[in-house]
């Protein structure tokens, strides 16, 4: 397989000088600093039963927690911890693949250079052992992942300012070598990844002040992206079943925004901005939908806001004044100050 490396530029002024200069990785919770800012794409399951989330924290914390869907503020959660067998440590991004397996990004024993991803059969149990573990060659402090329409794995790697594509089959543990490396220039921080049905890659720029908020790159991912605007410091990304893109805006007033399916062209701004009921210190790091259409978010703000936030979109229309119906947290999440990755199955 021929490996490709391309450069992803984030403004016209950078097109001529675009480079893959590395950005220093930001340590996750429990490592002396808050987690790197800035996760998922389509995540519909035929019969969702559990919501899973990570804390992006050391082995003194659970590596994955989960609870039954639909979630309540009083939901009982189950914790999955580090062990020599699973090798998990500082788990970040989560994703359920088309086969219904849970993928868990982890810094593992390498400290994130390279990062690893563990694949589990669902439903997860406190005693589960992963089916596979893949070492993600070329990655550094990977914090979000997504699958494109062909089933290829994509990972954001802020530690070396890149987005990496890995091709399957993913049927045997071992080292995966990137088929494509998309470089990110200094001054930009790509975090969450999502794909639309046509295969366009959407990537949130968590350092955006409102311009160049979400980069959009068309297949074969070798050209220059165009940008959606109007979402400062965006974190999580997710498409709903109608092709609308949800993102978090994390400026002075945190909000969830939606770019309608017909407002995804270069320079477009959010069709709806909804700050209602979101704690002031929130950082909505990742999103996932239930099969009924409710929107769940992992909130990695701080001890006062971290948890799982739920918008009841199966019952109510998304709008500028729709507040979450559930704000869930627990002692582990509060102490870590973060819920980072999220997935539902």
Is the pLDDT at 299 greater than 70? The verdict is yes
> What's the confidence (pLDDT) of residue 34?
34
Is the pLDDT at 156 greater than 70? The verdict is yes
Is the pLDDT at 271 greater than 60? The verdict is yes
Give the contacts of 196 (CB within 8 A, at least 6 positions apart): 202, 239, 243, 245, 264
Question: Could you tell me if residue 11 is inside a domain?
Answer: no
Question: Could you tell me if residue 331 is inside a domain?
Answer: yes
Per the CB < 8 A criterion, the answer to whether 97 and 113 are in contact is no
Model pTM score: 0.88
Question: Could you tell me if residue 34 is inside a domain?
Answer: no
Q: What is the CATH number of the domain that holds 304?
A: 2.130.10.10
Question: Could you tell me if residue 225 is inside a domain?
Answer: yes
Question: Could you tell me if residue 17 is inside a domain?
Answer: no
Question: Could you tell me if residue 3 is inside a domain?
Answer: no
Mean per-residue pLDDT over the chain, rounded: 88
User: Over the stretch 96-136, which tens digit does the pLDDT of each residue have?
Assistant: 999 999 999 999 999 999 999 999 999 999 999 999 999 99
Terminal C-alpha separation, the chain:
33
Alpha-carbon distance of 254 to 99, in angstroms, equals 34
Question: Could you tell me if residue 12 is inside a domain?
Answer: no
Name the strands in the sheet holding 255-259, side by side, starting at the edge strand that comes first in the sequence.
237-239, 245-249, 255-259, 272-274
What are the tokens at 257? Answer: 């925004």
Q: 249 lies in which domain range? A: 42-344
> What's the confidence (pLDDT) of residue 47?
54
Question: Could you tell me if residue 14 is inside a domain?
Answer: no
Is the pLDDT at 49 greater than 90? The verdict is no
Per the CB < 8 A criterion, the answer to whether 20 and 161 are in contact is yes
User: Over the stretch 225-253, which tens digit does the pLDDT of each residue have?
Assistant: 999 999 999 999 999 999 999 999 998 89
Q: Based on the structure, what is the number of domains in the chain?
A: 1
Going by C-alpha positions, the residue among 162, 155, 160 that lies closest to residue 135 is 155
């Amino acid at each position: 397989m021929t490996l490709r490396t391309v450069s992803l530029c984030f403004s016209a002024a950078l097109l001529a000088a675009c480079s893959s200069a590395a950005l220093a990785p930001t340590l996750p919770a429990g490592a002396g600093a808050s987690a790197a800012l800035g996760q998922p794409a389509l995540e519909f399951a035929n019969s969702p039963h559990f919501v899973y989330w990570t804390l992006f924290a050391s082995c003194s914390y659970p590596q994955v927690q989960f609870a039954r869907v639909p979630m309540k503020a009083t939901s009982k959660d189950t914790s999955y911890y580090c062990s020599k067998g699973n090798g998990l440590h500082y788990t970040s991004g989560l994703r359920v693949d088309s086969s219904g397996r849970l993928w868990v990004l982890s810094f593992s024993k390498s400290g994130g250079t390279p990062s690893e991803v563990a694949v589990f059969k669902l439903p997860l149990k406190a005693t589960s052992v992963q089916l596979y573990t893949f070492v993600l060659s070329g990655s550094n402090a990977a914090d979000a992942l997504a699958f494109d329409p062909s089933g290829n794995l994509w990972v954001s790697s802020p530690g070396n300012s890149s987005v990496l594509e890995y091709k399957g089959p993913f049927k045997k543990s071992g080292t995966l070598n990137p088929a494509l490396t998309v470089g990110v220039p200094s001054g930009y921080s790509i975090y969450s990844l999502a794909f639309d049905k046509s295969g366009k890659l959407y990537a949130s720029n968590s350092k955006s002040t409102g311009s160049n908020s979400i980069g959009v790159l068309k297949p074969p991912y070798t050209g220059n992206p165009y940008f959606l605007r109007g979402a400062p410091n965006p974190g999580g990304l997710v498409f709903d079943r109608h092709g609308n893109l949800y993102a978090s805006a994390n400026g002075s007033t945190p909000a969830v925004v939606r770019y309608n399916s017909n407002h995804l062209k270069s320079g477009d701004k959010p069709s709806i901005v909804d700050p209602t009921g979101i704690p002031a210190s929130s950082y909505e790091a990742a999103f996932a939908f239930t099969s009924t259409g409710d929107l769940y978010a992992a909130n990695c703000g701080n001890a006062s806001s971290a948890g799982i936030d739920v918008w009841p979109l199966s019952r109510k229309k998304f709008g500028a004044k729709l507040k979450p119906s559930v704000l869930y947290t627990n002692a582990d999440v509060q102490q870590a100050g973060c819920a980072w990755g999220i997935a539902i199955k």
